[in-house]
């Protein structure tokens, strides 16, 4: 299954309704519930995204902010702390980087993205560690061949025992 958040019209803006759901004083908005149900139905997710200013683009960040919410992705319990709830889910990342690998290495950008996304979001929610693949110099790619090659590498890694 392929999900195109833009094509599906997903709204990435964290609204008052999202905050109320996060605080557990109101139900989760319907569009968020649909995304959570879609993720509940799979064991692996591959997030393909361009790196914008060394981070996630707004659409993906907003999707994560809204969908990976308190009560579904994790529970915060004052007495015991965070309960991670997404252990059945393995998340893979395909990051489209406009620069070359040497620049990412020299400035620590690849490590920063891994730390921000893998540790700061995915591990916090308890997902299983998946494959992370960077497609460097993606600005100059002709067509989607290199992107699809990276997705195939992730697919092969997912299928491997």
Instruction: Report which of residues 29 and 134 the model is more confident about.
Output: 29
Indicate the pLDDT class of residue 78, thresholds 50, 70 and 90. confident
pLDDT score for 110: 87
151 pLDDT above the threshold of 90: no
**Residues 114 and 132: beta-carbon distance below 8 Å:** yes
- Sheet containing 44-50: order of strands: 44-50, 90-96, 128-135
Q: Give the tens place of pLDDT for each residue, 92-148.
A: 998 988 888 899 999 998 899 889 999 999 999 999 989 888 888 887 666 567 777
Q: Which whole number is the average pLDDT over 2-20?
A: 95
- Tell me: pLDDT of 65 over 90: yes
What pLDDT was estimated at residue 24? 92
Helix intervals (H) in 56-144? 58-67, 101-107, 109-113, 124-125
Average pLDDT for 54-78: 94
- Give the residues across from 47 on adjacent strands: 93
Whether pLDDT at 88 is above 90 = yes
Tens-digit pLDDT profile for residues 99-112: 888 999 999 988 99
Phi-psi bin for 70: left (phi > 0), alpha (psi -120 to 50), beta? beta
User: For the whole model, what pTM was predicted?
Assistant: 0.88
Tokens of 17: 């309704």
Identify the burial level of 153 via C-beta atoms within 10 angstroms of its C-beta, where 0-12 means exposed, 13-18 middle and 19 or more buried.
middle
């Amino acid at each position: 299954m392929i999900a195109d958040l833009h094509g599906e019209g997903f709204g990435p803006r964290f609204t008052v309704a999202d905050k109320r759901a996060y605080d557990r004083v109101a139900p989760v908005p319907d569009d968020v519930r649909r995304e959570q149900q879609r993720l509940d139905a799979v064991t692996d997710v591959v997030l393909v995204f361009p790196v914008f200013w060394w981070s996630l683009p707004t659409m993906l960040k907003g999707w994560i902010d809204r969908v990976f919410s308190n009560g579904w992705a994790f529970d915060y319990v004052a007495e015991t702390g965070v309960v991670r709830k997404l252990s059945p889910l393995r998340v893979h990342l395909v990051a489209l980087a406009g620069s070359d690998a040497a620049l990412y290495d020299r400035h620590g950008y690849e490590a920063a993205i891994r730390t921000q996304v893998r540790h700061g979001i995915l591990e916090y929610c308890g997902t299983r560690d998946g494959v992370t693949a960077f497609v460097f110099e993606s600005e100059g790619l002709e067509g989607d061949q290199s992107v699809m090659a990276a997705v195939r590498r992730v697919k092969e890694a997912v299928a491997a025992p």
